Structure 1
């Protein structure tokens, strides 16, 4: 059989410590291997090792073969020459794959012209058709910062896919997408497979793993603990951890108990509307959020969910209507959990120093922060790193701990667990709910996962109905 990607006894080491160890697998042409596992288990490190993109001081051992041509894993430079043409990576954070200074259509077209060698006059048309195929025709002339998280994810996929590399590593391709957009990405992946593309898909989305089929492997603490046909592993897992992982999928969570809202209001929203140019996001939104209440904000990608939350926080101004906080609240009483956790930290300051600065500025209790980090199963040593040196899931939990340390009256949680595996996601939501109920605060929640809304929210605001 012709193997598109072969990995043999690959390890990633930091000094003498193995962060990823003894990884071996093969993916045939047109095949797929899906990796499941908790945040920090080594999935993204494995992807970077295969790409030959490990930062110093990490090093790797073993063999990586692309299209039957083996290279020592340590020889990263030889794989750099294959980027885009033979081997491609769609990173977990979509903004890392996009040029912030270039319009969407131009950077997708640039991939067609420079990597796939498509004539420039054809590349533009190909880019426009690709955008339209994923419902992004209106985004062609926008810059990446003007896109929602879900839109940026789809644009990044198109930019990565444009050159047609036969092996693609995809890190969380469906995170932050609603059901319709998730289905579109699935169909695009299936079409690419039908044309012979081989996929290594890293995901926490069990639905996607089931739909892709092929092979599936589960990682824990840097090792593959279970591997086999996806249908067999998902139907009858052998390992206790795999069974726990599948049982923690939000589809298995119990429905929320609908209680009676407490008296008073944390915030009142009256007739709020917002548009960007001719694009109207929403109009006439009214809401009363009471202490102890969890309100979900729903709507398709690009409907203005993040913008609405930013208006409630005072980070953006509405075009019409107004937002009133309850009297007596401190300026820091409203806090945000960012959809992109990397945007919440200074990139060149170590995490410990960022958190120390917060504790000293607001005279907070460092020991309480340590307790929150321990509750979320985060090793203290992670704080010695820069933000880009931890996984997206780890950074998301650190950002959450920082917000909870402030004991806010209202949390705007914008896809707060999108980088987390089901087990960790369940634990984090338990902590969020505990905070809301214990502090008599409130939470405004953005998520595309209807099962999470069903399980945790008291009610929802549907922005698709107020345009």
Structure 2
């Protein structure tokens, strides 16, 4: 549905964002015009999403924005809370970085898309249902309309959130990491959808760490680093001949260019399974599947979104029961030494608990010292100030690094990493995998990784298991 309202220009000038007396984003300025989208690249925690939320008027509590943000001459920062809320969905829509935070866990996705058409656009129930089916079919979920979010894969939840945002039809669309966790075909489909939004006259601001997405969208590209916009210009200029040192490092950090990571010979199997079969309803994910992960080994599972990659890892951990088959885990080890890194990091944290408390509870429960956690935070590039924030008040990449840090503190023998770096920029992704590989090499960790990035799997994994194209959770 095309919204009748169209904006011509969004202008951001002298934008600074502070937490109390501490400035975390400073002097950001750019212009977004019809037909010329803007894409922001940069490391997790560099301030990209905060810029988006400042425009949206949805900064987390405790953060404040200064400067000028004008939409066709109207100062958005000067709006009252009621005026801000009135714009949401109607004038400005945001696709949040985390689908877990964007979807209602108590409602099937059909209802979540349909209610946008019914209550935001005032359509009747029949027309709303027709629009809903069209929106979900466009993102490949036409046969999952009655599924709840917990019944969908991470990539499917991302597509459902895209359908909800598209249904709003707002003339200014902000897409925060819209392709994370999606395989190449689905990623290209989302990019094409965003290009159509631009062609229909909508203003588009995209935040991503995927260089290919930035190149495909074209328009203008900005690179953020440590809260500052260090480079901004036409996409082809910034991506092909970046001037700033960080921009060059970011754009040059493609996994295909990583050096090899030699590992010693793998040892005994830490977890293995034979003859695994699993169905969801009428859909068969896999049948007669054999898999094992040995100490000191990296195994990758690749395949389209929804083909059952996460399900395999969950079966190995005992979180999901197979329909058929046997699983054997190394004997004599505490369950805490078998860990999972979730694709959606909010799923691993209590939403209202400060990260300091979350980490402190773990340390006390397992008799670990704060010095161990602090040393790990330094290695993961996590500042101490983040400890006094809730999960929703840090970036998705920062939260994922906390999740990885927390898992490694328990000295695991097996880690199932479900798209564990999908929220990280290439530079941070390389840094995190360097730490994980060090654990594989020095501790004998067995690592099972799910990824949509073929280059990443080929560079790191000794063995790659490819699953088919079944569309199930």
TM-score range, shorter chain: over 0.9
Show the counterpart of 1:181.
186
Q: Which runs of 5+ in 2 are unaligned?
A: 1-6
Distance 1:142 1:388 in 2: 25
Displacement after TM superposition at 1:371 (Å): 1.2
Does the 8 Å contact 2:284/2:470 carry over to 1? no
Superimposed CA distance per residue, residues 262-282 of structure 1 (whole angstroms, 9 cap, x where no aligned partner) = 342111111111112212111
Report the 3-state secondary structure (helix = DSSP H, G, I; strand = E; otherwise coil) of the residue aligned with 1:88.
strand
CA contact (8 A) 1:248 1:422 kept: yes
Name the SS for the 1:137 alignment partner.
coil
Distance 1:26 1:123 in 2: 35
Query: Aligned to 1:219, which of 224, 241, 244?
Result: 224
**For each residue in 1:208-248, what CA deviation from the matched residue of structure 2 results, as whole angstroms up to 9, or x when unmatched?**
00110000111111111110001100011010000011111
What SS class does the counterpart of residue 428 from structure 1 fall into?
helix
Does the Cα contact within 8 Å between 1:61 and 1:74 map onto a contact in 2?
no
| Number of equivalences | 466
Q: Does 1:355 align with 2:359?
A: yes
Q: Does 1:27 align with 2:32?
A: yes
Instruction: Deviation per CA, 1:330-383: give whole Å up to 9, x if none.
Output: 222211111111111112221112212111211224322211110111111211
* Counterpart among 7, 14, 18 of residue 9 in structure 1: 14
Structure 1 residues 72 and 133: alpha-carbon distance in aligned structure 2, compared to 1, 3 A threshold? closer
The structure-2 alpha-carbon separation of the partners of 1:70 and 1:262, relative to structure 1 and needing over 3 Å to count, comes to closer
Structure 2 CA distance for aligned equivalents of residues 251 and 118 of structure 1: 48
| TM-score, normalising length: structure 1 | 0.96
SS state of the match for residue 238, structure 1? coil
TM-score by length of 2: 0.95
Partners in 2 of 1:244 and 1:142 — Cα distance?
42
Q: Which residue of 1 aligns with 2:176?
A: 171
TM-superposed CA distance for 1:323, in Å, is 0.5
Q: Single out whichever of 84-93 and 26-35 deviates more from structure 2.
A: 26-35
Q: Which residue of 2 aligns with 1:431?
A: 435
Aligned in 2, Cα 1:249/1:410: closer, same or farther, shift over 3 Å?
A: same
Question: Is the deviation greater in 170-179 or in 89-98?
Answer: 89-98
CA shift digits 1:10-55 (9 cap, x unpaired): 2212222211111221111232100011111111111111111123
1:290 aligns with 2:294: yes
Task: Describe how 1:318-337 pairs up with structure 2 within 5 A.
Answer: 318-337=322-341
Match of 1:345 among 342, 346, 349: 349
Pairing 1:387-426 to 2, within 5 Å after superposition = 387-426=391-430
Q: Distance in 2 between matches of 1:8 and 1:391?
A: 23
List gaps (5 residues or longer) in structure 1.
Answer: none
Whether the 8 Å CA contact 1:31–1:197 is kept in 2: the answer is no
Distance 1:244 1:186, change over 3 A: same
Q: Report the counterpart of residue 124 of structure 1 in structure 2.
A: 129
Cα deviation, residue 76, structure 1: 4.8
Task: For residue 452 of structure 2, give the secondary structure of its aligned residue in structure 1.
Answer: coil
Return closer, same or farther for 1:282/1:128 CA change in 2, 3 Å cut-off.
same
Return closer, same or farther for 1:179/1:71 CA change in 2, 3 Å cut-off. Answer: closer
Tell me how far 1:260 sits from its aligned partner. 7.6
Task: Give the deviation of 1:161 after TM superposition.
Answer: 1.1
- Counterpart in 1 of 2:269? 265
Residue 274 (structure 1) aligned with residue 307 (structure 2): no
Rounded to whole Å, the distance in 2 between the matches of 1:361 and 1:275 is: 37
Distance 1:466 1:142 in 2: 16
Alignment of 1:86 onto 2:91: yes
Q: d(CA) in 1 for partners of 2:344 and 2:461?
A: 22
Deviation at 1:465, TM superposition (A): 7.9
Structure-1 residue corresponding to 2:3: none
Cα contact 2:100–2:344 (8 A) shared by 1:
no
Match of 1:192 among 192, 197, 222: 197
Matched, 1:72 2:80: no
- 2:446 corresponds, among 424, 442, 455, to 442
Q: C-alpha separation between the residues in 2 aligned to 1:465 and 1:50?
A: 39
> How far 1:74 sits from its partner (Å)?
6.6
Matched, 1:316 2:340: no
SS in 1 for 2:288: strand
Residue 145 (structure 2) aligns with: 140
What's the offset of the Cα at 1:427?
0.2
Deviation at 1:70, TM superposition (A): 2.8
| Alignment deviations for residues 140-178 of structure 1 (CA, whole Å, 9 cap, x no partner) | 111111111101101101101112111111100000000
- Shift of the 323–14 alpha-carbon distance from structure 1 to 2, 3 Å rule, reads same
Which whole-Å CA distance do the structure 1 matches of 2:360 and 2:332 have between them? Answer: 27
Judge conservation of contact 1:281–1:303 (CA < 8 Å) in 2.
yes
**Residues 172-194 of structure 1, C-alpha deviations (whole Å, 9 max, x = no match):** 00000001100110111111111
Partner of residue 455 from structure 1, selected from 449, 452, 459? 459
Q: CA RMSD in A?
A: 1.9
